[in-house]
Amino acid sequence: MVIGVLDSAIFADMFGTPAMRGIFGDEAFLDRCVEVEAALARAQGRLGIIPAEAGEAITRAVSELANGRRTLDLTRLKKETETVGYPILPLVRQLAEWAGDYGRYIHWGATTQDIMDTAVVLQIRAGLRLIEDDLAAVRGYLAELALRYRDTPMAGRTHLQHALPVTFGYKVAVWLSALDRHADRLRELRPRVLLVQFGGAAGTLASLGAGRECLETRAALAGELELGDPPITWHVTRDGIAETVQVLALLLGSLGKIAFDVMLMSATEFGEAAEPFVAGRGSSSTMPQKRNPISCELILAAAKVLRQQAGLVLDALVTDFERATGPWHVEWVAVPEAFGYAAGALRQARFVLGGLIVDSDRMAQNLGMTHGLIVAEAVMMGLAPHTGRNEAHDLVYDACRRAIETDRPLLEVLRETPAVAGPLGAEKLEALTDPANYLGAAPAMVDRMLAGR
């Protein structure tokens, strides 16, 4: 029986992806733990800390697991893990049996958290690659949309009301700007997060003595796994893990903003954009006309859930002394789920943005629905040099009220207002009330966002 949508037979591929499950599933986690144990044995064999033959024998035993000639007894592993509280000792026992006499050298000088932490770092590295690939695809779609609709006017809205004209390309470029920063964050966190953990019982590596063997072993293990070698053990300072999940939460927050915008734009009253059409997708069980924004809803839900995992890993930062009494365990829940939801949301975003339906005619229709009120600021700023800003504001404000009350275009009312029409003239007044003439630097900012891509 499965609890939770990421492993659900029904919902798993709506909220997650098979590829990310393949990285953070039980089998993958155990594989990474075994990988770390074998790398440790090779490193120590090469350094002469254990017999070189032991490192080779342990690596051979592990390779038999990797190529399918051996399998772990998961029933035994589960039972022993429930007794011990952690899976590493039960795992080491089985590996030691496979390595024969050399099995005594497995896990030499290590402790459980060394292996589990380093295994999780390997999972994070693989998970980040998937996240970055999907994010690059989403950013590519946004760049294409921003370029295509660079000059397509639409109503900009504040507090859900018409504010000023923008372009759809500008709106998309704003979305893109956040995702570009998240790509930077993902790249920048790697050297802080992708670090080997090897410290022994209290982090001091005392089990290997006080000589060069301690730090050389850690450096060699890092080299075997192609991870960074930290200057000091980090098993009770979890900021690297926490940072990773915070960045994923930030990323999904930005995807949630995009999804929310698209959902609103797809409302019947707006009709400016819609998810790609797939027959039957988003259908209602009772209303045949409905086409619900399913992917956007899933992205928004994932963003909300991942925010909770971000809070959990912040709790895990507060550890006690040289080995935590429980905060570490919340990462076992939070980290795999964070990557799972992030992958699922990015998959949905690729679907939405890769085939987004944009109705520029409806955008133009909505832009004109207030008959020029959306460019009242343009008229005010055009009039201000003649009357002063405050006087211009009051004149245009009064004209807007009359236009609303009489349901007439703002231009028509302004033409009947001598204090406005006189200083500006008919031609200038007509230009000021054309939304396409009041886009500011929106197209230029799109160009700046797309420069160098």
Distance separating alpha carbons of residues 398 and 404, to the nearest angstrom: 10
- Identify whether residues 211 and 340 lie together within a single domain: no
Q: What is the pLDDT of residues 34-60, one digit of tens each?
A: 999 999 999 999 999 999 999 999 999
Could you read off the pLDDT of 362-413 as tens digits, one per residue? 999 999 998 888 888 988 998 899 999 999 899 889 988 998 999 999 888 8
- pLDDT mean over 211-220: 87
Catalytic residue numbers read 159, 284
Cα-to-chain-centroid distance, residue 95 = 37
For the cut 60, the answer to whether the pLDDT of residue 332 exceeds it is: yes
Phi-psi region of 275 (alpha: psi -120 to 50; beta: other; left: phi over 0): beta
Which of 181, 209, 231 is the last residue in one of the domains?
231
Distance of CA 63 to the CA centre of its chain: 34
For residue 66, what are the contacts with CB-CB under 8 A and spacing of at least 6?
31, 34
Decide if 118 is inside a domain. Answer: no
Single residue among 183, 211, 231 that ends a domain in this structure: 231
- 33 and 147 inside one domain: no
Average pLDDT of the chain is: 91
- Structure tokens given for 257: 């903003």
Q: What is the mean pLDDT of residues 231-245?
A: 94
Q: 231, 257, 288 — which closes off a domain?
A: 231
Kindly report the pTM of this predicted structure.
Answer: 0.92
SS3 state at 170: helix
State both tokens at 425: 């003239």
Q: For residue 222, give the nearest of 131, 103, 121, 323 by alpha carbon.
A: 121
What's the CA gap between 172 and 157, in Å, rounded? 14
CA neighbor of 41 nearest in space, from 193, 198, 191: 198
**Domain contains 120:** no
8 and 61 assigned to the same domain: yes
Q: Provide CB contacts within 8 A for 333, sequence distance 6+.
A: 309, 312
More confident residue, 66 or 10: 10
Q: Are residues 246 and 379 in the same domain?
A: no
Quick one: pLDDT band at residue 260, thresholds 50, 70, 90? very high
* Mean pLDDT of the 303-330 span: 90
Domain match, 392 and 349 both: no
In a domain, 392, yes or no: yes
CA distances, 133 to each of 128, 346, 347 (Å):
8, 10, 11
User: Are residues 54 and 131 part of one domain?
Assistant: no
**Helices 294-315 and 327-354, axial angle in degrees (round to 10):** 160
In a domain, 338, yes or no: yes
Residues 389, 397: Cα–Cα separation, whole Å:
12
Domain membership flag for residue 415: yes
- Residues 6 or more apart whose CB falls under 8 angstroms from that of 78 comprise none
Predicted confidence band at 288 (pLDDT cuts at 50, 70, 90)?
very low
Q: Look at residue 76 and tell me whether its pLDDT is greater than 70.
A: yes
DSSP letter assigned to residue 290 = -
CATH of the domain at 28: 1.10.275.10
Residues 152 and 176 in one domain: yes
* Shared-domain flag, residues 227 and 238: no
165: number of CA atoms within 13 Å, CB side?
33
* Over residues 268-297, mean pLDDT: 74
pLDDT, position 337: 95
Distance of alpha carbon 74 from alpha carbon 280, whole angstroms: 42
Using pLDDT thresholds of 50, 70 and 90, give the confidence band for residue 414: confident
The residues with which 228 forms a beta bridge, in sequence order, are 195
H/E stretch holding 350 reads helix 327-354
Flag whether pLDDT at 3 surpasses 90: no
- Asked, for residue 121, whether it belongs to a domain, the answer is no
pLDDT at position 362: 96
Residues 314 and 413 placed together within one structural domain of the fold: no
Instruction: List, in order, residues 6 or more apart from 231 with CB less than 8 Å away.
Output: none
Contact 162, 155 (CB under 8 A): yes
Average pLDDT over residues 255-281: 90
> For the chain, what's the residue count?
453
Percent of the chain with pLDDT over 70: 97
Identify the three-state secondary structure at position 156.
strand
Same domain, 349 and 240: yes
What is the end-to-end Cα distance of the chain in Å, rounded? 47
- What CA–CA distance (Å, rounded) separates 81 from 30? 12
Could you read off the pLDDT of 114-155 as tens digits, one per residue?
999 999 999 999 999 999 999 999 999 999 999 999 999 999
Lowest mean pLDDT among 103-107, 329-333, 416-420: 416-420
The enclosing domain of 177 has a CATH number of 1.20.200.10
pLDDT at res. 285: 46
Contacts of 161 (CB under 8 A, 6+ apart): none
Rounded to whole angstroms, how far apart are CA atoms 373 and 164? 9
| Domain-embedded: residue 75 | yes
Q: What is the DSSP letter of 6?
A: G
Domain residue limits at 37: 1-110+196-231
pLDDT band at residue 338 under the 50/70/90 scheme: very high
Mean pLDDT within 151-177: 95
**C-alpha R_g of the chain:** 30
We report the CATH number of the domain holding residue 396 as 1.10.40.30
Q: How many domains does the chain have?
A: 3
Q: For residues 39 and 64, state if they share a domain.
A: yes
pLDDT of 119 reads 97
**353 and 245 part of one domain:** yes
Does the residue 64 lie in any domain?
yes
- Per DSSP, the chain holds a count of helices (H) and strands (E) of 19, 4
